[in-house]
């Protein structure tokens, strides 16, 4: 592995290895002795065109706990592709730091960065993909159901966005059945679905407009905001279009009793998910958020630490 840009780029073995390293580092941290300084004298440049809580804290803390250092750069001060070309920014940073992580709007910027990089490029989120979130989500499912998730079912209720796309890919790679219920016009693109469906013989993919259909056999039920960053002008229309797709107690009553609930956060309580579900006994939302630290450590240890 040279970069972490999209789950679609990973082999099954690479996903398994990142997760294994993440679990090992989490277990080591839990002893109270801290992690070995495997990234000593290494620096990660973190570029943010979009604001963040979990992504910034998890990556910066991961570098600290692994003995490295992180530099945080705002999109406005760098002007990636505007004040300075993507290629020039990448080549400058690669001469000074050992890794670059970027949270951007246009996914193509990450691809261009990788084309000009001599150091690892890590996608902290783009409009097309959120691979680090998907890794943390799978870790959370493994905590609940064991390391072999083959045949389990993840049901996604909401917008066919970057998170849904990355989840569909990681499910396909690991043999986790994936179902998505989205309103008409918000589905995952058909051409992406056809690519995703070819990656595991045991993988079952369902795309529906009915939330009740996808949760009835779910082991995990997932949702995300209906209005992502950059879509604020569409807020009223989107909330109207997604009526009936809320994760609430009534919807959960149609799911198996053991089904857990996941959300990548930030959550808009009372919109895509209710307080009673978010704070209820089936919610794993906050352990899921905490696993961002451990998934990020797995990515950093593999790409920058040679693990």
Tens of pLDDT, residues 256-306: 999 999 999 999 999 999 999 999 999 999 999 999 999 999 999 999 999
pLDDT at 90: 97
Residue 24 annotated as catalytic: no
Q: Where in the chain is the domain with CATH 3.40.50.1370?
A: 7-130+291-303, 132-288
Percent of the chain with pLDDT over 90: 90
pLDDT at 31: 95
pLDDT at 114: 98
User: Helix-strand-coil percent breakdown of the chain, rounded to 5?
Assistant: 45, 15, 40
The residue-averaged pLDDT of 208-217 equals 97
Global pTM? 0.96
Q: Helices 285-303 and 131-145: crossing angle, nearest 10°?
A: 120
Residue 294 annotated as catalytic: no
Write phi, then psi, for 174 (nearest 5 degrees): -100, 5
The one catalytic residue among 238, 292, 294, 296? 292
pLDDT at 198: 79
Residue 28 annotated as catalytic: no
Mean pLDDT of the chain: 95
Express each pLDDT in 136-180 by its tens digit.
Answer: 999 999 999 999 999 999 999 999 999 999 999 999 999 999 999
The one catalytic residue among 54, 137, 264, 294? 264
Express each pLDDT in 20-54 by its tens digit.
Answer: 999 999 999 999 999 999 999 999 999 999 989 99
The one catalytic residue among 3, 26, 103, 263? 103
CATH of segment(s) 132-288: 3.40.50.1370
- Between 231 and 32, the more confident residue is 32
Half-sphere exposure of 14 (CA within 13 A, CB side): 16
Q: Band of the pLDDT at 122, cuts 50, 70, 90?
A: very high
**Residue 74 in this model has a pLDDT that exceeds 90:** yes
Q: Which residues contact 61 (CB under 8 A, 6 or more apart)?
A: 293
- Please give the CATH architecture assigned to the domain spanning 7-130+291-303: 3-Layer(aba) Sandwich (3.40)
**Residue 254 in this model has a pLDDT that exceeds 80:** yes
The one catalytic residue among 3, 26, 54, 130? 130
**Residue 251 in this model has a pLDDT that exceeds 70:** yes
The one catalytic residue among 133, 152, 284, 296? 133
pLDDT at 200: 67
Dist CA 136 CA 114 (whole Å): 23
Q: Band of the pLDDT at 234, cuts 50, 70, 90?
A: confident
Dist CA 149 CA 163 (whole Å): 19
Residue 263 annotated as catalytic: no
The one catalytic residue among 128, 137, 159, 224? 224
Residue 103 annotated as catalytic: yes
Residue 159 annotated as catalytic: no
């Amino acid at each position: 592995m040279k970069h972490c840009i999209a789950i679609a780029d990973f082999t099954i073995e690479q996903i398994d290895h990142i997760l294994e390293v993440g679990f090992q580092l989490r277990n080591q941290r839990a002893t109270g002795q801290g992690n070995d300084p495997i990234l000593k004298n290494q620096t990660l440049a973190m570029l943010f065109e979009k604001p963040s809580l979990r992504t910034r804290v998890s990556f910066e803390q991961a570098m600290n706990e692994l003995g490295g250092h992180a530099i945080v750069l705002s999109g406005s001060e760098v002007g990636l592709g505007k004040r300075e070309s993507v290629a020039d920014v990448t080549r400058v940073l690669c001469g000074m730091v050992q890794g670059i992580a970027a949270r951007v709007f246009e996914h193509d910027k990450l691809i261009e960065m990788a084309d000009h990089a001599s150091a690892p490029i890590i996608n902290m989120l783009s409009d097309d993909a959120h691979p680090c979130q998907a890794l943390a989500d799978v870790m959370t499912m493994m905590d609940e159901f064991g390391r072999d998730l083959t045949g389990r079912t993840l049901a996604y209720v909401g917008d066919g966005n970057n998170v849904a796309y990355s989840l569909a890919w990681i499910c396909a790679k690991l043999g986790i059945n994936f179902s998505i219920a989205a309103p008409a016009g918000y589905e995952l693109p058909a051409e992406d679905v056809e690519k995703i469906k070819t990656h595991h013989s045991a993988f079952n993919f369902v795309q529906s407009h009915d939330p009740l259909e996808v949760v009835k056999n779910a082991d995990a039920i997932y949702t995300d905001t209906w209005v992502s960053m950059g879509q604020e002008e569409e807020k009223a229309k989107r909330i109207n279009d997604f009526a009936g797709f809320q994760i609430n107690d009534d919807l959960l009553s149609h799911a198996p009793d053991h089904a857990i609930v996941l959300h990548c956060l930030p959550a808009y309580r009372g919109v895509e998910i209710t307080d009673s579900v978010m704070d209820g006994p089936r919610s794993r939302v906050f352990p899921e958020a905490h696993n961002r630290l451990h998934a990020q450590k797995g990515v950093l240890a593999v790409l920058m630490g040679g693990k």
